[in-house]
Structure formats: structure tokens, C-alpha cells
Structure 1
Amino acid sequence: MTDRDTDHASHHHGFSDAFAEHLDREALLATDVTSGALDRAAAALDRPVRTALDLGAGTGPGTVALARRFPDAQVHSLDLSAELLDRLTSAAARAGVAGQVHPHPVDLDDDWTKLVPAGVDLVWASLSLHHVIDPALVLQRALSVLRPGGVLVVTEMSESIVLEPDDLGTGRPGLADRVTGGLAALGHPSTADWTVPLAKAGYVGAQRELTDLTVASDNTDGAAYLATQLSAWHNNLAQTLSSDDLIALKTAEREIRAGSSPVTQTTGRVVWIAVRPEVETRK
């Protein structure tokens, strides 16, 4: 089974409450990345947003951000997990935007185009395309529901992941590099470059921007996020790291939870802004 097949299968089995909370926390920490992407999307649009589409909406941070940024817009949120969409609905209500939000439980690998309005102004796909089996088809379907001049925003992780300090605060030199190296060998983080697929699907003017997301353990949300990450990595790397490294990784996790750790994690984010052309060209 490929990494993408594994990701796709995980969506079919739902998520635990703990993982959903982890997604919420990650979205909170990535607020500046989301805000920047929305600003760039707004600048690329030629008219106000009336209809937006959130592909792989998850717990709803993108949906809520879209509704807040474009208060006159109706936002259609697509995700396979009914449990996550329930959390999305609750999040929209807490944010005061429930009247703008329309959840749709659907597999992005199915034909979802008839479930949403035609002539969408903005399609948002944040960290979701690498989960689907046929991303090219999903991009084509997104193009088909966009109006001419409408904008697609795709966010993906880049290949960079940096942990500091080198010993993760444990006194064991090189631990950070061994952890990131082990993760890379397992295909983490999941990355993809959508520049060529966007052009092949018929989008024009694709702009690509790389930014960083740094999470520090010196605050409550950052510490909770990093501790969850290290716990998951400990499990994932159980057959890869030495027993001494695994013990040190657990020590780093405990120190983070205790609020006495200097650990930071920096991951790359890539944002593409692409447009459906006003005049379709023959291929």
C-alpha cells in the first residue's frame, strides 16, 4: 500500500477526539499562514466572494476563516468524516458564522460536483489534496465548479522539518536529526508539488509561495501540540531509533508537558493561488 493509499484509508476510518483536537490546535497555530493565503486569494479575485468551497474541511478552521474573511459568502464544506463535520458545525456556531456554512459528507474521490453550486468564486484546499487517490481529477472537478476568474487556493507541507535544539533538550546529541531522518524515511511529512498538475488541469497564473510555521514549547498550545507530535513519532519510529533514542524522545515529551523544554519545530508550508481562465483554451 502506498503512502497516499494509507492516507486515503485513514480518512475512511474516522478520527479520534484526541486527533481532532490536535488538528484544531495545529490550525490555531497556523493562523498567520491561513490569513496570508486568504489575503493573497482576495487580491487575485476580480469580484467579491459569494460562494466558497472548502475541500477536505476537517474540523472546520478553513471554513470558519473563509466565512469570517468573506462575510457575504456561503461556504460549502466537504469532508468524508461525519464526526469531523459535526465538529465543524459546532465551530461555525461558536464563531457566529453558522448561517454561512453548509457541510457535505462526501468522499473527495467521488463526484461531488453536483452537491455544490455552480459558479463558485473561491475553492480552498488546505493539506487535503495529498490524501486523495486521484488529485488531478479533484483539481479538474474544482475547475469545473469555479466560475471564470474564480480562484483556487492549495496549501501543502514542504519537505522541510527542523527540530531544535539538536538534543531536544535531553543531552543526547543528534537526536533531532535522527528523528527527522527517520520520519523522512517513512514519508513524513506528506508533500506534493501542484504547480504542473494545476497547469495541466487548466488553471492559469499559478503563484507559489513558501512560508514557515514555527511552533514553540514555551506556550500552552505549542507545548500541547509538540507533545502530541513527539508521542506519535515515538510510536512511528519504534522500529527505527535505538532504544536510547526512544527513551530520550519520551524524556523530551515529558519535559514539554512539564513546561520546562526549549524545543521548537519549524515546518514549511507552500501556498498556490491559481485562477480559472476567463476564456478556456483547447488542449
Structure 2
Amino acid sequence: MTHSHPHVHAHRHPAHPGHPGQHGHPGQPDTDAQAEILDLDADVLAEHIAAITAWLPLTGDPRHVVDLGCGTGTGTFALLDRFPDARITAVDSSPEHLQRLREKACARGVEDRVRTTWADLDGDSWPDLGSPDLVWASASMHHMADPARTLRRVRELLAPDGLFAVVELAGFPRFLPPDAPEDRPGLEDRCHAASDRFHAEHVPHRGADWGPMLTAAGFSVDGERTVAVDIEGSGDEVIARYALRSLRGLRDTAAEALPPEDLAALDRLLDTTGPHSVLRRDDLTVRTERRVWAGRAAS
């Protein structure tokens, strides 16, 4: 069992790349790898996601929710738990993710409350998504080719007094202590720096401050929050697998910029059969922040 220590406080900050799941870009892992990291993310960060759904400044319990860029259902199922009378339209561009979400819904006995819809959210038109009371977009908005257009579409979509929640991770999670690994201390920081440079070129909306962008699209920003994540992972198999999958993704975007010594040290951590595997470490923690902006169509 993981022990999490959420700290919820008002704050304004830029957002994070999130995990791939909405639109492809260089360095993006395959669909199975995406699904695995999304599922692990949901498991490890469940308490923090629940803290966000509990905070949302709604005027009443929503009856119709749209999960925009739903992936394998992290937000969908958190919202179903939070709002037991709601029905959710889960939207994504990956048929494989939508199929996985449907299977989960059936396994949980909530298939009658979930409708899955395929859509290219960067396309010229969207399918009919109704008039939702709440639109939830977690780790998906930064993937949009034209976020301003997407924000305007969401504003037009919402029911009167409906709420739009934009949720982003503030950077890929970190797992290792600063002095690890022993032969290359600070490796994780250097990998993140290299990955940040990659994403600055290939995912330009990573790190966007969604508050001003929401305002420019005709929303009033009703709230902004940061949920700090600091989870002790010693001996936790799920967190070890989460670290392994996350570091593999980090390697995809950082490898070309790393010196050979750092790349070799990273590969030793990723070698699941070797003595230095991240799966064998007993000093892992999950450290990141999850940021949320809540907007309502301005009158």
C-alpha cells in the first residue's frame, strides 16, 4: 500500500506535458506502453485525482460530463466515483484506449453510465457531445495543435453555468534521490533537462499557463490549484513499475542529448534483469505536482 501526502493549496503555475495519449509526436511510445503508463498513473495518483474532483467549484452535481482526451479512463472513473448520478461521455483519438476503457467499465458494472466516442479533437468538426455540465481535460490540452480553438469549442459546448476543468502534471514525475544512481549522481535531473529541451521543440504548449488562455477564449477562471504529490514507494511493486515505465518514456525523449556515461547509467536502471534495475531499488518516491484550472463561460 502506498502512503501519499497530498497538499492542496491555491497557486498559479504553468502545466506539464502529461503522459502521451491524445495525439502523437516524436518520441511517443506505442499504444500498449501508453495504456500501461496511464493505468499506473491512475493507480498511483488516485488519491490526488480524487482531491481535485472534490475541489471543483461546481454549482451542483453534474448530470452529464465529457472527459476530453480520456485515455484509458483515469478521469472517467474518478468522476463516476465522485458524481454517482452522472453519465460520462469519454472522448479520445485512440480506439485501443477507448476499448480498454469500455472493458474497465464493464468490469466495474458501470457500462450503462459511460459512452465512448472516437474523435480527432484537432479535426474540423467534433461529434455531437451534447451539452455537458462539466468538461474535464486531464493531460490532453497541451497536445492540441490549436488550443485556442479547442477552448472556444468547449465554451460553445458547455451547458449554461457549466464548468471546464483543465488538469496537467507539472513535469514528469521524479523517483530517484538526488545522489542516485551511485555512479552517476543527479542523473534524473539531467534526463529531465534534456527531455524539457525536446518537448520545448515538439510540444510547444507544454508548460502553458491555462488561466490567461481560458480568459482569452471567453471563460472566467473560477479557481486554480496545485496538488503536490510526494508518495513513499519503498517496497511498493506498483510504484516500481510506474518508475520503470516513466523512465523508459524519459529515455525516449532525452537519449540523443545525454552523454554516453549518463545513457549507460540510465540503461542499467532500465535493465529489469540486472542488479541495478529500478525495480530492485528501495528508495523510490513519486514527486510531482498536478495543477488544475476551473473555468466557466463568461457572461
Q: TM-score, with normalisation over the residues of structure 2?
A: 0.81
In structure 1, what is the equivalent of residue 248 of structure 2?
231
Does 1:208 find its partner at 2:224?
Answer: yes
In structure 2, what is the equivalent of residue 274 of structure 1?
295
Q: Give 1:268's aligned amino acid.
A: E
Q: Retained in 2: the 8 A contact 1:207–1:274?
A: yes
CA 1:162 to 1:65, structure 2 compared with 1: closer, same or farther past 3 Å?
A: closer
Does 1:39 find its partner at 2:54?
Answer: yes
Q: Which segments of 5 or more consecutive residues in structure 1 lack a partner in the other structure?
A: none
How far residue 111 of structure 1 moved from its aligned partner, in angstroms, is 5.2
Q: Retained in 2: the 8 A contact 1:51–1:73?
A: yes
Q: Deviations over 1:197-221 (max 9, x none)?
A: 1111121133111222345552111
In structure 2, what is the equivalent of residue 28 of structure 1?
43
Does 1:64 find its partner at 2:102?
Answer: no
Which of residues 50, 57, 70 in structure 1 aligns to 2:63? Answer: 50
Which of residues 158, 180, 191 in structure 2 aligns to 1:146? Answer: 158
Q: Give 1:273's aligned amino acid.
A: A
| RMSD, aligned CA | 2.6
In structure 2, what is the equivalent of residue 105 of structure 1?
118
- State, as a whole percentage, how many aligned pairs show the same letter: 32
How far residue 141 of structure 1 moved from its aligned partner, in angstroms, is 1.2
| Superposition map of 1:246-265 within 5 A | 246-254=263-271, 255-265=276-286
Does 1:135 find its partner at 2:147?
Answer: yes
Q: Give 1:212's aligned amino acid.
A: A
Q: Retained in 1: the 8 A contact 2:23–2:93?
A: no
Q: Deviations over 1:47-105 (max 9, x none)?
A: 22110000001111211111221121110111111111000101111222110001111
| Superposition map of 1:185-196 within 5 A | 185-187=197-199, 190-196=206-212
Q: Deviations over 1:224-256 (max 9, x none)?
A: 011122223334333222222122112233434
Q: Retained in 2: the 8 A contact 1:252–1:261?
A: no
Q: Tell me the secondary structure at the aligned position of residue 70 of structure 2.
A: coil
Q: Retained in 2: the 8 A contact 1:156–1:270?
A: yes
Q: Give the length in aligned residue pairs.
A: 269
205-214 or 49-58, which deviates more: 205-214
32-41 or 168-177, which deviates more: 168-177
Q: d(CA) in 2 for partners of 1:172 and 1:272? A: 38
Q: Which has the higher contact order (CA 8 A, sep 6+)?
A: 2
Q: Retained in 2: the 8 A contact 1:152–1:274?
A: yes
Structure (1 or 2) with the greater helix fraction: 1
How far residue 172 of structure 1 moved from its aligned partner, in angstroms, is 2.2
Which of residues 184, 194, 206 in structure 2 aligns to 1:182? Answer: 194
Q: TM-score, with normalisation over the residues of structure 1?
A: 0.85
233-242 or 62-71, which deviates more: 233-242
